Amino acid sequence: MMKKLNKYSFGIGDRFGSQGQAQLNAFIKAKKAGLNISPVWNKSNREHEIIGTKPVDVRIEADAAVKSLDWHDNYFVDADHINMDNVNRFIESCDFFTIDVASYIGKPAPKDEMDAFVADCSNYTGEFNIPGTSKSFNISTEEITKTAEQYLYAAKMAGEIYRTIESHKGTGNFITEVSMDEVSTPQTPIQLFFILKMLSNENIPVQTIAPKFSGRFNKGINYIGDTEKFAAEFELDVLVLRQAVKEFNLPEELKLSVHSGSDKFAIYPYISKIINKYDAGIHVKTAGTTWLEELIGLAKADGEALQFVKDIYENALIKCDELCAPYADVIDIKTDNLPSAAEVKKWDSKRMVDSLTHDNSCKDYNPDMRQLMHVGYKLAAMQLSRYLDLLKKHSAIVNKCVSDNIYERHIKLLFFQK
């Protein structure tokens, strides 16, 4: 029997492994309100290397939270953004694999395989309609060829990675997601349709797919772009997935995955409206939100905890270029808007909390500072013992920040809007 996600699932990063129970409490609260969401703990290879953890640590954290809070529904541990270079270290501990094909996009597959794919898709040339919309597309052989040139090799690599996992875990014993979001150019709905055919040809039982959407998905801050354009694109993608399931014998659970980079509140109402309209599922991944809420909780705690947050910020200013380099495509920090370390030293608890909390109605909210702190978790990892001690000492405040953020700002806006 194949493992399946619930209709709604939610990816929760926890870089320092201290918030499993606080995170799960948000899903318990949602369940009491009538909505069963699969929690998916996720942590990337890069984050493990920076912090010095291993994939098994995430499994231990998730299992402990589930046991402690008596959670009896689905939950998963995600090998986040893995590829052939690092998949093996995740196989034993994980049961959800986000296969990231970004580095393979644009590399050519063998010509005979591309020619065979294009020939196999010849029945889709001409006028093409996606059921559920009046919009029609005129598909040419040239367009299919360009799509194959761009994505066929990536799909074949996804198949190779999938089969590596399957050979160890067995068929049906894990969730497969394919991710194409960390690239510069969005995939069109028609490209997505043919990409799904490629994945079907590789016999990948993909349950979620993360395309690149238009607009900016910067780390830690709101969506930047035309929300109406996003909504139109997202709705077409939902319909494309529905059609692809029928056309290509893909799992009926197949749904879109939105790798939000945390806190894309501006598009949540659109996502909510569209998934309700089509009775569609959704997977949303929040990445570093929990780390930021830990900092906010420590700032609220005042005293030595607030000083620790100030020290992190001061060091982040010094190491700004180093911290930002790995995230260059998903942050956009205006350094002129960053307060000096000397200024921040004078701040009280409220000012620090207001600066970091994602609340556009607050005059002191600083999205540039928030982005910098988002990528600054490496600095806490460098003094890990002290950081973990502070989290433990102020756990009541921090845990509430983490749980309330997931439930009040994310789950309610995504799933309880009608």
Q: What's the confidence (pLDDT) of residue 417? A: 75
Distances (CA, A) of 37 to 24, 41, 270, 411: 10, 13, 19, 9
Helices of type H across 302-360: 303-318, 320-324, 341-345, 349-356
Amino acid in position 116: A
List the structure tokens of 249: 């014998």
Q: What's the confidence (pLDDT) of residue 418? A: 62
Q: What's the confidence (pLDDT) of residue 354? A: 98
- Extents of the domains making up the chain: 1-418
Architecture of domain 1-418: Alpha-Beta Barrel (3.20)
Q: What's the confidence (pLDDT) of residue 381? A: 96
Query: Is the four-CA dihedral 45, 46, 51, 52 of positive or negative sign?
Result: positive
Coil, helix or strand at residue 130: coil
Per-residue pLDDT tens digits of the chain, which is 418 residues long: 789 999 999 999 999 999 999 999 999 999 999 999 999 999 999 999 999 999 999 999 999 999 999 999 999 999 999 999 999 999 999 999 999 999 999 999 999 999 999 999 999 999 999 999 888 899 999 999 999 999 999 999 999 999 999 999 999 999 999 999 888 899 999 999 999 999 999 999 999 999 999 999 999 999 999 999 999 999 999 999 999 999 999 999 999 999 887 899 999 999 999 999 999 999 999 855 899 999 999 999 999 999 999 999 999 999 999 999 988 888 999 999 999 999 999 999 999 999 999 999 999 999 999 999 999 999 999 999 999 999 999 999 999 999 999 999 999 999 987 6
Burial readout 371-395 (b: 16 or more C-beta within 10 A, e: otherwise): bbbbbbbbbbbeeeeebeebbeebb
Would you give the DSSP letter of residue 257? E
Amino acid in position 180: M
Query: Is the four-CA dihedral 214, 215, 219, 222 of positive or negative sign?
Result: negative
Strand partners, 283: 9, 257
Amino acid in position 216: R
